[in-house]
Amino acid sequence: MWLAQEVIRRKRDGLVLDAVDIQRFIEGITDGSLSEGQIAAFAMAVLIKGMTIEERIALTAAMRDSGEVLQWNLPGPVVDKHSTGGVGDMVSLPLAPLLAACGCYVPMISGRGLGHTGGTLDKLESIPGYDCQPTSERLREIVAEVGCAIIGQTADLAPADKRLYAIRDVTGTVESIDLITGSILAKKLAAGLDVLVMDVKTGNGAFMADAEQAHALAESIVAVANGAGVKTRALVTDMNQPLSRSAGNALEIAETIALLKGEIRSSRLWDVTLALAEEILVMAKLADSPDAARQQLMDVWQSGAALQRFARMITALGGPEDLIEAPERYLPAAPVIRPVWPKTPGTIVAIDTRAVGLAVVALGGGRRRPEDEIDLSVGFSELAFVGETVEAEQPLGWVHARDEASAAEAIQTLQMAYQVGTSSSLNKLIHERL
């Protein structure tokens, strides 16, 4: 006789669970036969005692199989990328069309903002008409026709993760690397991928601020995803300052369009995007080397092929046909736009990136509670980076706000988040590759 409490007890005592026990426990989460108390107890036992790689693979596979697993019959590799999130991290938006233009198929399952970090779906919903929740049939059509589609998790994909995460969120068990690995990969593997690249952020604006923790998560994801049959690599990248010049939903869409048109506002953003894309093209055997992959990417960027893929994806998912030609006509704009002047001129030495993200939330560009509606127009643009000079003619950035009061508060927060001195040193952008 199988009993959930026996599974919980064994994990509580630090024993290794077999794959059948893990599978049946996940089935109980999915069908509702397990109580919230049992699920919470299991999550706490895993947090405290940990799991072996084999247990993590079994957990991830069971969560993947708790719902629909997409199957593809396409003439090229099915690939994706996932980031642990940060401030100004809009890599997914240019990456998907770049890869599609190189011959990949990218069904990208993305999420919403969490805490101080922005969410890809929130950014895309600043485009009028964009549908983040198409049916599985429509997703298949768009990926086959356009090569990429960035959408949200449907109710049919990894439903066990949705219930387990909601309970982890209120029981102090979010930080478990075992459960984080399963949560991330269950959704990605349910998309039927051949290749996955993981961008694990580290630094003061990252979910995993500590470099050792970031390494451990990257190592876990690579081991588990490869063990589950998906070719996977991970990059640990810097989040000690915003990745792009913009932080805010519509503002990041505008910067994405500018980038795909050829305007590199942030070399940090572009370098991380290219590095991740190179890994995918090599793993997918569409390029023999990183150098060859980079040349492909530069070709489709400079020719406008990637821009056209982005435009076709927007239109296919309900957005305006001429967004690329006139983004200012469609993207919401904040009524109050003000420069943020430094308190003293000098060189930017450091940035409290988390504080920048929280300032966007305070402006209304993120959620304090899951049910909150967000203001898609607010945020920061033209943010200065470490090593750059700010002075009377060169601001820290520009705040976009709904009113003067919130603009004033955001100005003060940004001034406090930036440390200005006489000299600075840059953190390495890509810490390691696994």
Q: Which of 56, 64, 82, 116 is catalytic?
A: 82
> Is 312 annotated in the active site?
no
Strand pairing of 195-202 and 418-421?
A: unpaired
Residue 161, CA distances (Å) to 34, 230, 258, 271 in order: 14, 19, 36, 32
> Is 83 annotated in the active site?
yes
Choosing among 3.30.56.10, 3.40.50.2000, 3.40.1030.10, 3.20.20.150, the CATH entry for 79-316 is 3.40.1030.10
> Is 343 annotated in the active site?
no
Domain 333-421: CATH architecture, name and number where available = Alpha-Beta Complex (3.90)
> Is 372 annotated in the active site?
no
Q: Which of 187, 231, 312, 400 is catalytic?
A: 187
Q: Which fold has domain 4-64?
A: 1.20.970
Question: Token pair of 284, please?
Answer: 């997918």
> Is 80 annotated in the active site?
yes
Count of CA atoms in the C-beta half-sphere (13 A) of 9: 5
pLDDT digit string (tens) for the chain, length 434 residues: 778 899 999 999 999 999 999 999 999 999 999 999 999 999 999 999 999 999 999 999 999 999 989 899 999 999 999 998 889 999 999 999 999 999 999 999 877 666 666 688 889 999 999 999 898 889 999 999 999 999 987 778 889 988 888 888 778 787 789 998 998 899 889 989 999 999 999 999 887 788 888 999 999 999 999 998 999 999 999 999 999 999 999 999 999 999 999 999 999 999 999 999 999 999 999 999 999 999 999 999 999 999 999 999 999 999 999 999 999 999 999 999 999 999 999 999 999 999 999 999 999 987 766 667 889 999 999 999 999 999 988 999 999 999 999 999 999 999 999 999 987 777 889 999 99
Q: Which of 56, 64, 81, 112 is catalytic?
A: 81
DSSP sequence for 207-243: SS-SHHHHHHHHHHHHHHHHHTT-EEEEEEEE-SS-S
Q: Which of 80, 89, 194, 352 is catalytic?
A: 80
Q: Which of 66, 83, 246, 315 is catalytic?
A: 83
Domain chopping of the chain, boundaries:
4-64, 79-316, 333-421
Separation CA 65–CA 72 (nearest Å) = 16
DSSP sequence for 253-309: HHHHHHHHTT--S-HHHHHHHHHHHHHHHHHTTS-SSHHHHHHHHHHHHHTTHHHHH
Q: Which of 183, 202, 237, 406 is catalytic?
A: 183
Separation CA 412–CA 406 (nearest Å) = 10
> Is 168 annotated in the active site?
yes
> Is 187 annotated in the active site?
yes
Are both 4-64 and 333-421 of the same fold?
no
> Is 82 annotated in the active site?
yes
Q: Which of 60, 84, 120, 244 is catalytic?
A: 120
